[in-house]
Structure formats: structure tokens, C-alpha cells
Chains A and B, each alone.
Chain A
Amino acid sequence: MTGHNPPEDTQTTDTYTGFGNEWKPVKLSREDANLATAWVETRIDRREMLTNKDKVQDVRDIMWQLEKDGEIVVHRITEQHQPVTGKTLYGWNKRIPTNQLWHHKSCGQCGNIPGYPTSLLWLQNQLDIRYLDETDQTSCTAWNYHGSGVGNIVSLAAIFLRNFHQAYVSSVSQGLPPGYYFPLVHCGTSFGNYKEVRSYLLQSSRLREQVKQILGKLGRLVDGKLLIPEEIVHYSEWLHVMRERIAEKQVIDVSNIRATVHPACHVYKMVPEDVLYDDTVLGGNRVAVTTGLLQTLGVQVLDYSTWYDCCGFGFRHIIGEREFTRSFAIDRKIKVAVEEAHADVMVGHDTGCITTLDKSQWIGRAVGKVYELSVMADSQFAALACGAHPYKLAQLHWHASPFEGLLTKMGIDWEKAKAEFEAYLEDVKEGRIETLYDPKRAITSGPGYVKPQPALTEADQ
């Protein structure tokens, strides 16, 4: 970790103190000004910035009580999911399932950054992880809600419960018992939204009653009860607890790569108590996911002064008011990462952030802000380090930011890889398509579904 220093030419004579007409220059010496700034920085960059409050409740206590009272059923993480325990903001345990995973996709990733999820599934193939990527799921619809205000807590909760119920029963389509797969959430906003919605559900009997009627109508209750997952798990948490095993598959030395990390707001600011922190990663002062993975791969992770800022996505702004989005992305993130950290790449763990930071650079030329920084998801970077094809697997051609220089620095011949991919596109046109899993598995009911043979066992999957 490399720190940043305040500019040498910090001039302090024009700082002010007091209120209203009482404002006057404080005339601090540079030494005193640095002391004051350091006082703020020791707090601003520390975990206590998020923990300086009381009355924080672990809603899982309510969850277990509701299950005991017979009101809900908990989709439990069991030994079959091979859980690894991590620590969250307050030091609470969080069990991360590492096998038998139900991929809950992200509409922004799948629509716009397809290499993000394909890299994740490719890594899981390398590690012999069982998973299901199926068609019976909607997005969480929270991007829309936060952008437009169309939607409400009841619709968000009903969609959460519907999707997670499907995750629970999906294995039945393969002749396996319910609960075999545990949901792994791809999108940061889905993760934040689902954490928040689960918390509301556990705290509000009124909300539970409202959604129970809807879920009942959909046939999405278990023994007449709401099904609540034991944990809401983000894919970046899976990468974090699997980072040592991923590093065992590494084939490219990335120790010469300078990376900045953009921690996603909806991952660690929404329900901040429920995401992984790790004392071995940045002293436990920042969210551990992504940074821990990069450091394990040997990357130089650089600090920068605006690490805590959002990306500028804004949910509504990225659609209809991109002046804000691109200004914020360039001025507060890209420019800082380039000028302060001299980064080769900015790595993130959320859909909207990757989109914003990747796509907002080109327009900076219109106002003389010419910054070029490769932007990608942690799953893509890890897959590249493990030898994934940059186009066929990491699908980097969908990115607008310049990744070619980064690949060259990693020792990857991107021109050769691009030519290979273009040749592969000719195969695709002829219907010769390579996939990460058997496409038949993606359909678990309705048109196109084929019932498994009675003799089908787990070993056949």
C-alpha cells in the first residue's frame, strides 16, 4: 500500500475560522496546518468513520428468533456449501458459501459489461465449483427504484423473496433437493438493496404480512412461510475468501501493476455492518473485498485521496443527466487515480461503477481533461492473471477505456488475442459457439425445460 502526501505547496494563510461576520484568517503555520489535516485524515480514513454510532443491531438475531417462532424458514448455509467464515465491520462472523452457487445476475453487467460475470464463472470452472446460471430470475429492480422512484419497499421485498425462493428450489429441476444452491449476488446495488430489504423484512411484521400475500399468490412460500436467506452474499466476498485458491491458479506475474480500487457505495455504505473487513487488508480500515484479492495476486494497490467518493453513477443521472456523472467520474476519480497514484488500472466490484468510470473518460477531451485509465472488475483482472483469454473470456472489447497498455504491461499480446477472437467470431457465425456450461441447464421450468432422468444423481451434474 502506498500512501499519498499533501501537496508541498499547501498554503494556509487563506483558511478561515469563526462564523458569519466573525470569519477571519487563522494564519496557521504550514506545520500546524499539516497537523490539523493529519488529525482529520487519521479519522476520515479509519474504520471508526463507519462505527462511531450506537444501537447497531445484528438483524440475524431477529431472523433466528422468527424461525424459532415458526414465522419464517431460513435458507441455511450448510456444509455442502463449503462455507468460509469472514469478519464484518463490527467483527461479526459471516459465512460465505464457496460451492453450489446460484448466480443472481446483474442487468447492467450482462447488458453492458458481459466479461464481468463470464470471468467469475470461468474462475469457478477453474476451481471445480458447482453452480447454476438460469433464466428464472429478474433483476432486483433497485437501479430503477433509486433512479426514478417508481417502485416501493413492498415491490422490492417481493422481488427479493421471489428470486431467492427460486434460488432455493432451482435444484429440484435437476432432481436435487431444495436448498442445494445458495444465491450469489453479482451486482453491488442488488447486494445493498437485498441487505436493506432483508433488514426491513426482519424488523417489520407489517411488511412481512404484505409480501406474504403476494408470495403466496405466486406459490413462492415454503411450508406456508417466507423464505429468508441466512446471508446475503456478494460475489466479491466469494472472491475474497477464495483469493488464496485463485492465486494458486495464477500464471501471470502482476507485481509490476499499479492499481487503484474503487470501493462501491452500495456494497459497503448500504447496511455497512454486513460486508467483509479483514485486519490483514489495509489494517482492517477499509472494506476488504477486491483489495485483498489484488494484494494476494501481488498487485501494487495504491491509495488515493478520494477513495471514499462515489463514482458519479447516480442511477438517474447516468440515464438522463450525464453532465454530473461524467464530471464527477473524471474530476473525483479518474483524474485523481492518474495524477496521484499513477495507476495502470482502476479495479471495482460493482456494475454501475465500472460502467461510469469506464465510459466517462472519452468525453473529457471536450474540455481538455485527457485521462486514460483502464477500468475493469476484480473478477476480470483475476481471470486475466490466471490466463483467461482477454477477449473470448474477459470480453474486454466491450470496455471503452484503454486496456491495451495494461495488457502489454502484463505481458499479454493483445493484438494476437484480438485476432484470435476475430477469427472465433467466424466460428460463431457458423454456430460453433463455446460456452462455460451446458446451455440446457439454464432452463429450469416452462418452455424449453427438459425434466431430468430419474436416475440422475449429483455426480452426473
Chain B
Amino acid sequence: MNIALRIGDPLSEAPAVNREKLEEIFEDIRNHQLFDHELHGCLNCGICTATCPSAHYYDYSPREIVQLLLTENLEGIYDAMQEKIWACAQCYTCAARCPFHNSPGGLIMILRETAIKHGMQSAKDVLKPYTRVLMKVISTGNQLAPNMITPDAFADWGPNIAKVKAPLKVLRKAIPMPTMHTMDTAWEINIKTSIELYTIWEATGVLGQLETIDPNLFDVVTDLMDEKRDEYEEWLEEQEG
């Protein structure tokens, strides 16, 4: 049974998530090094929700998120982590306007990180369409590449993705910044830069996050990283030789 269905579904006969698990999740949230920076108190004024773009379209309220965390409503927090936290558009209008200096948008990021840390199925599901982007950003440091913008992937953008008909490679070469004559990254990236980035990913636990939410993607990305490192090592050896 999908554990995500047990909480927040009054018709479900499944037992609730055990208390120890809920406390463990909350402890991770509470101990996040930015938690005290993002949450200070709440007047329940609702200015955050009134100005929230996601509240227009989703069952989502930044005020509710703040209240759940302030009151340590563990079941409610767990419930919100199944779906609601992924509705936030991360615009930080809530944070800019909160008279208490709270950052509901920042709290959402703590909750998303925690959902990933605990390998919640909801996080895995919601990030499935994100696979290509994750692979690109972890392996190259660029989130978006010209050859990712295809009519298939962006059919709703219409027929005018490029208003001049020519091969993508030619159009890219016609951009007057030489660093942008690329197809599979947004700009040409020095190989040394990529190697440094991989060190950062490894040292900060980002690869561990990736492995938790998508082990197959993790394997592909680490293979790419190994190839790039080998390439750089070879170049260094050539220089010494």
C-alpha cells in the first residue's frame, strides 16, 4: 500500500504512519540549518496566502504551512509533504510581504529537501518529468541546453520556437557570443569547471539525494562524471608529457 495515502485520507482504512517516523521527519525539518532563519512567528494575517500565485490554482496556502510548522502538527506536515509543498512557485512574494520576516517559500524548500531525504514516493513521482533537467544540471552545471527545446517537449509553445528556419547548429553559430556556439549546453563549459562542480556535488551530499530519488539516473550521471574526469586526467598527462 502506498504510505502516502494513509494520512489526509479519512476514508482510508490503512493505519496511520507511526509516530516515530513522523517525529523523525519533523526533527530533520527542525534541525535544518536554515529553519530558524525562515520561521519566526505568525500573526495569522494571511498576507502570504492572499498574495500567493499558487493559492490561485492549487489547494495550497503558505499560511497553513507556517501554522503547521509552528504548532508542530506532525500529521499535517506529513500530509502537506505528499503534494502541497510541490505547488509552491518559489516566487518569494510571501517572504517579501510577511511582517514577521517568515519565509514560507524558504520553509517549502526545507520540506522538499526533507521529502527527498526520506525518499518519499510523492517526491519521486513529482520529479519524474524533471529527470532530463537533473541529468543536465548535475553533469554539466547548465540547467537548460538548446537541443532540449524541441517541438515534442514543448508542443504548447507553438510553432514559432524559432522564427527563422535553419538548422539549430547554424542558428547557434549565428549568435555573436562565441561561448554560446553550443548545442548540448547553454554555453561552452571549461572541463576543469565541470570537474570542480563534481567535487562540490560529492562533498555536499547532492549525489546522495539523486541516488535516493532515482538510482538509475544516479548511475548514468556518475558514469558521465567518470568519463569527464578520465578525459581531464588524460589532458593533464599530455601536458606533463
Q: State the A residues within 8 Å of B (CB).
A: 49-50, 52-53, 55, 105-112, 114, 117-118, 121-122, 133-139, 141, 143-155, 158-159, 162, 166, 192, 200, 203-204, 206-207, 213-214, 217-218, 220, 265-266, 268-270, 272, 308-310, 312-317, 319-322, 324, 326-328, 332, 359-363, 391-393, 395-400, 418, 421-422, 424-425, 428-429, 433-437, 439, 442-447
Contact = CB atoms under 8 A, between A and B. Distances in A.
Contacts of A110: 142, 177, 179-180, 186-187
Interface string B117-148: 00000010011111001100110011111101
Q: Which 9 residue pairs across A and B have the least CB separation, nearest first?
A: A362-B158, A149-B112, A138-B141, A320-B129, A111-B186, A310-B91, A439-B178, A110-B186, A111-B144
6 contacts: A159-B197, A162-B196, A265-B93, A266-B92, A310-B89, A363-B157
Contacts of A398: 161-163
Given A105-B179, A112-B146, A139 B141 contact: yes
B109 A111 contact: no
Could you tell me the dominant secondary structure of chain B's interface residues? helix
Given A269-B95, A310-B93, A362-B157, A435 B176 contact: yes
A187 to B, nearest CB: 10
B170 A148 contact: no
B149 A363 contact: no
B21 interface: no
B92 A135 contact: no
A162 B196 CA distance: 8
A227 to B, nearest CB: 15
Interface string B34-50: 10010000000000000
B71 interface: no
A107 B142 contact: yes
A433 B173 contact: yes
A135 B99 contact: no
A259 to B, nearest CB: 21
Contacts of A55: 101
A55 B100 CA distance: 10
A436 B176 contact: yes
Contact of A207 (B33, B123, B232): B33
Contacts of A200: 34, 37
Nearest to B116: A149
B89 A314 contact: yes
Nearest to A389: B176
B203 interface: yes
Contact of B157 (A268, A308, A359): A359
Nearest to B204: A155
A327 to B, nearest CB: 7
B240 interface: no
Contacts of A393: 176
Interface residues of B, number: 90
A148 B142 contact: no
Interface stretch (B1-9, B11-19, B52-60, B72-80): B52-60
Contacts of B34: 153, 200
Given A314-B89, A328-B53, A395-B175, A158 B200 contact: yes
Given A148-B134, A150-B116, A363-B157, A107 B186 contact: yes
Interface in B182-230: 186-194, 196-197, 199-201, 203-206, 209-210, 213
B179 A442 contact: yes
B53 A118 contact: no
Interface centre among B98, B126, B142 (most CB of A within 10 A): B142
Nearest to B149: A112
A150 B213 contact: yes
Nearest to A306: B53
B225 to A, nearest CB: 14
Contacts of B201: 155
A446 B162 contact: no
A133 B190 contact: no
Nearest to B196: A218
Given A141-B137, A200-B37, A359-B154, A269 B54 contact: no
B89 A107 contact: no
B31 interface: no
B135 to A, nearest CB: 11
Given A111-B148, A332-B53, A322 B156 contact: yes
Given A135-B193, A153-B33, A310-B89, A320 B126 contact: yes
A360 B89 CA distance: 16
Contact of B164 (A151, A213, A397, A444): A397
